[in-house]
Amino acid sequence: MTFDLRPLLSFNLDMTRRLAAELTEGQLDHSHSPMVNPPRWILGHLAVSLDYALRMLGEQPLCPPAWHEAFGPGKPTSQPHAVEHFRPAKAELMAAIERGTARCQIAAEHVKPGTLDTPHGVPVLQNTPLQTQGDTVAHLLSTHFAFHLGQLSAARRSLGFPPLF
């Protein structure tokens, strides 16, 4: 199956820009609930998630290794309290998301035939309907991304910002 990722990636990037635009550096570390990650972590996690999609598309990651430790899934160091000392600036986080999005668009257009049909090998997804690298890339760039944009929207609203629409 082939599909054009450009509209989806453009939409996600636009929503990320809009949700983060009014947030100050200080607000990036505000968590509206003890169980929800703050905006800085969410933006960092979205950046490294794009790296995971890039790997599955046969490309090299773009984010520094320290970002994968701080913002990656399932890492003991990937907790808001564990990354208090590690605070990339909003501009740096947004630039990483911009680069990752652009690179995913290009990589998806040039992925080697059969790459996306291979098993993904992601333990947490083993017993789910997501079985291939293509399934997982689609998830990372759609449902996973949207889930975290919802968290970012909730954090933004808890800071008193009006809804975007």
Instruction: Give pLDDT, residue 113.
Output: 87
Position 81, amino acid: H
Count of residues in the chain: 165
Q: Alpha-carbon distance 133 to 128, whole Å?
A: 13
CATH superfamily assigned to domain 6-158 = dinb family like domain (1.20.120.450)
Q: Is the pLDDT of residue 8 over 80?
A: yes
Please, are residues 72 and 48 in contact by the beta-carbon 8 Å criterion? yes
Residue-averaged pLDDT of the chain: 89
Instruction: Give pLDDT, residue 165.
Output: 80
Please, are residues 51 and 68 in contact by the beta-carbon 8 Å criterion? yes
Q: Is the pLDDT of residue 128 over 60?
A: yes
The arithmetic mean of pLDDT across residues 106-111, rounded, is 90
Q: Alpha-carbon distance 69 to 142, whole Å?
A: 23
Backbone angles phi, psi at 119, to 5 degrees: -60, 145
Delimit the domains of the chain by residue range: 6-158
Q: Is the pLDDT of residue 126 over 60?
A: yes
